[in-house]
């Protein structure tokens, strides 16, 4: 049985009242998460945000030494460039996605168990619109 | 970072107090579009804007970290057989109990007998209902119960439970308030920390304790919600014990490294809360 059909409707709270753009981002992310299971990735957390151009979100995340982490993002059609950056607890930038698109991915294997900062930044979004952005922290 | 073709917007400068520094200009650029610098964020901005939705590791992630640290214990085999119900008045306690059961379900789904697993799922569902968890999670749990009762392949259900724990619960909006998710997470984390500290102790791998158990920000995050003020927060012995445990864990986690005694103290302190459930 796959509950994913049900989860598709409910993966992230508030989806029944969410903007269509967040649904789009969520659907894209869900597909990536599901594909990841086949490669041994599991989910720490998935969350959504709505970002206008130039806006950002910062997430605190505890990463275990020895585990490998993959941060995955999907933006909706109104976004053409979403950036994803990982910083250590001191704010030092560790990894930055190297793409210029709305589906950035970053992988990182920490040497120490620490708290890190994940930054989502809306680099390019259609004028006057908010982009629906979904992000997952996955690990293996 | 690949080149970008827009100028840094004014909204960025307003929305981020970080120091923006232009990236190196790539060698070849189309003449009509200037490259956009990589946006930089300073530590003050990161700290001020940080949200905690992704902060807390899951019990399954703890198991993975345990294995990656070279410990051979299976947390699933260490889960207590004790039935933890959610039929209590205090909603803080309901949330913590629901979180503990969620951790047990995540860890034991693959191998636990259905006679053990189904009651756990039913208690968990009752907890979510009591917390006013909306229309989504209870039917999802019903689907899981049905699948287990029909002896469907447990391997196929692992990913579904992973999504329930990792995606649905953290984004849960309940009638009770925004403290519910942190306290559910606190219950799950408490169970995980108890099992991990027990595994470290039984294998005498105390040098792994720092990387597996030292998470001061997580403890502080839970404490903030346990110690919150509010009319919905009634005095409760379990919640008092949870608060005392978290204060103790915060003190231990503030040390630069963890000793054998620290691990034993973590195991005992977390066990003190769990034994009251």
Answering whether pTM is above 0.95, one says no
Nearest CA distance, A133 vs chain B (angstrom): 14
Nearest CB to B217: which of A44, A62, A85? Answer: A62
Gap between the Cα atoms of B168 and B189, Å rounded: 17
Contact B217 A99 (CB under 8 A): no
For residue B57, give Cα distances in angstroms to A63, A128, B41, B247. Answer: 8, 36, 25, 19
Q: Which residue has the tokens 């986690």?
A: B253
First CA to last CA distance, chain A: 23
Gap between the Cα atoms of B29 and B32, Å rounded: 8
Contacts of B131 in chain A (CB under 8 A): none
Question: Do β-strands A69-75 and A105-108 pair in parallel, antiparallel, or remain unpaired?
Answer: antiparallel
Gap between the Cα atoms of B94 and B113, Å rounded: 25
Nearest CA distance, A136 vs chain B (angstrom): 8
Give the residue from A45, A95, A128 with the most B CB atoms within 10 Å of its CB, the best one to mutate: A45
Residues 177-206 of chain B whose Cβ lies under 8 A from any Cβ of chain A: none
**Does A119 contact B at CB distance below 8 Å?**
yes
Gap between the Cα atoms of B9 and B36, Å rounded: 10
Q: What is the pLDDT of residues B222-240, one digit of tens each?
A: 999 998 876 556 678 888 8
Nearest CA distance, B7 vs chain A (angstrom): 10
Contact B215 A52 (CB under 8 A): no
What does the pLDDT read at residue A13? 40
Q: What is the pLDDT of residues A14-53, one digit of tens each?
A: 443 344 478 889 899 999 998 999 999 999 999 999 999 9
**Does B10 contact A at CB distance below 8 Å?**
yes
Question: What percent of chain B is modeled with pLDDT above 70?
Answer: 85
Neighbours of B113 (CB within 10 A): 9
Q: Which residue has the tokens 């909006």?
A: B173
Picking from A51, A96, A95, A57, the residue whose alpha carbon sits closest to that of residue A75 is A51
| Smallest CA–CA distance from A44 into chain B, residue | B166
Is residue B25 predicted with pLDDT exceeding 60? no
| Smallest CA–CA distance from A48 into chain B, residue | B171
Give the residue from A15, A44, A100 with the most B CB atoms within 10 Å of its CB, the best one to mutate: A44
Q: What is the ipTM of this complex?
A: 0.81
E strands, B81-204, in order = none
Ranges A112-126, B21-35, B37-51, most confident: A112-126
A46-A120-B158 Cα angle (round to 5) = 15
Contacts of A96 in chain B (CB under 8 A): 1, 38
Gap between the Cα atoms of A42 and A36, Å rounded: 7
Gap between the Cα atoms of B174 and B210, Å rounded: 35
Nearest CB to B39: which of A44, A67, A121? Answer: A121
Give, as one character, the DSSP assignment of residue B2: -
Contact A1 B160 (CB under 8 A): yes
Contacts of B64 in chain A (CB under 8 A): 42, 64, 67, 139-140
Q: What is the pLDDT of residues B158-202, one digit of tens each?
A: 888 988 888 888 878 777 788 899 999 999 999 999 999 999 999
Q: What is the pLDDT of residues B113-136, one digit of tens each?
A: 999 999 999 999 999 999 988 788
Contacts of B53 in chain A (CB under 8 A): 45, 47, 59
């Amino acid at each position: 049985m796959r509950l994913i059909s049900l989860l598709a409707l409910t993966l992230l709270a508030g989806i029944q009242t969410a903007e269509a753009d967040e649904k789009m981002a969520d659907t894209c992310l869900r597909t990536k998460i599901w594909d990841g299971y086949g490669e041994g990735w599991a989910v720490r957390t998935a969350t959504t945000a709505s970002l206008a151009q130039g806006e950002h979100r910062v997430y605190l995340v505890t990463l275990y030494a020895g585990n490998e982490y993959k941060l995955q993002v999907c933006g909706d059609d109104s976004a053409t460039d979403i950036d994803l950056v990982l910083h250590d607890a001191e704010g030092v930038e560790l990894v930055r996605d190297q793409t210029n698109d709305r589906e950035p991915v970053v992988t990182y294997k920490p040497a120490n168990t620490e708290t890190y900062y994940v930054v989502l930044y809306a680099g390019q979004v259609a004028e006057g619109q908010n982009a629906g952005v979904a992000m997952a922290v996955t690990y293996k | 970072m690949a080149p970008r073709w827009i100028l840094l917007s004014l909204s960025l400068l307003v929305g981020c107090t970080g120091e923006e520094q232009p990236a190196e200009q790539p060698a070849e650029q189309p003449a009509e579009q200037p490259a956009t610098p990589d946006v930089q964020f300073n530590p003050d901005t990161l700290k001020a804007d940080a949200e905690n939705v992704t902060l807390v590791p899951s019990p399954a992630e703890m198991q993975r970290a345990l294995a990656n640290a070279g410990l051979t214990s299976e947390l699933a085999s260490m889960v207590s057989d004790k039935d933890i119900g959610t039929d209590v008045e205090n909603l803080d306690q309901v949330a913590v109990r629901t979180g503990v059961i969620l951790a047990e379900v995540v860890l034991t789904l693959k191998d636990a007998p259905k006679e053990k697993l189904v009651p756990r799922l039913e208690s968990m569902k009752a907890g979510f209902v009591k917390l006013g968890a909306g229309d989504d999670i209870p039917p999802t749990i019903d689907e899981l119960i049905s699948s287990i009762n029909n002896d469907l392949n447990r391997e196929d259900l692992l990913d579904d439970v992973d999504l329930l724990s990792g995606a649905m619960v953290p984004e849960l909006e309940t009638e009770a308030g925004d403290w519910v998710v942190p306290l559910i997470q606190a219950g799950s984390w408490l169970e995980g920390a108890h099992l991990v500290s027990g595994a470290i102790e039984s294998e005498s791998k105390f040098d792994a304790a720092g990387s597996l158990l030292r998470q001061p920000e997580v403890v502080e995050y839970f404490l903030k919600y346990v110690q919150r003020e509010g009319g919905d927060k009634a005095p409760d012995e379990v919640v008092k014990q949870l608060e005392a445990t978290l204060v103790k864990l915060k003190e231990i986690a503030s040390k630069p490294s963890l000793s054998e005694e620290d691990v034993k103290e973590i195991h005992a302190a977390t066990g003190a809360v769990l034994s009251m459930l």
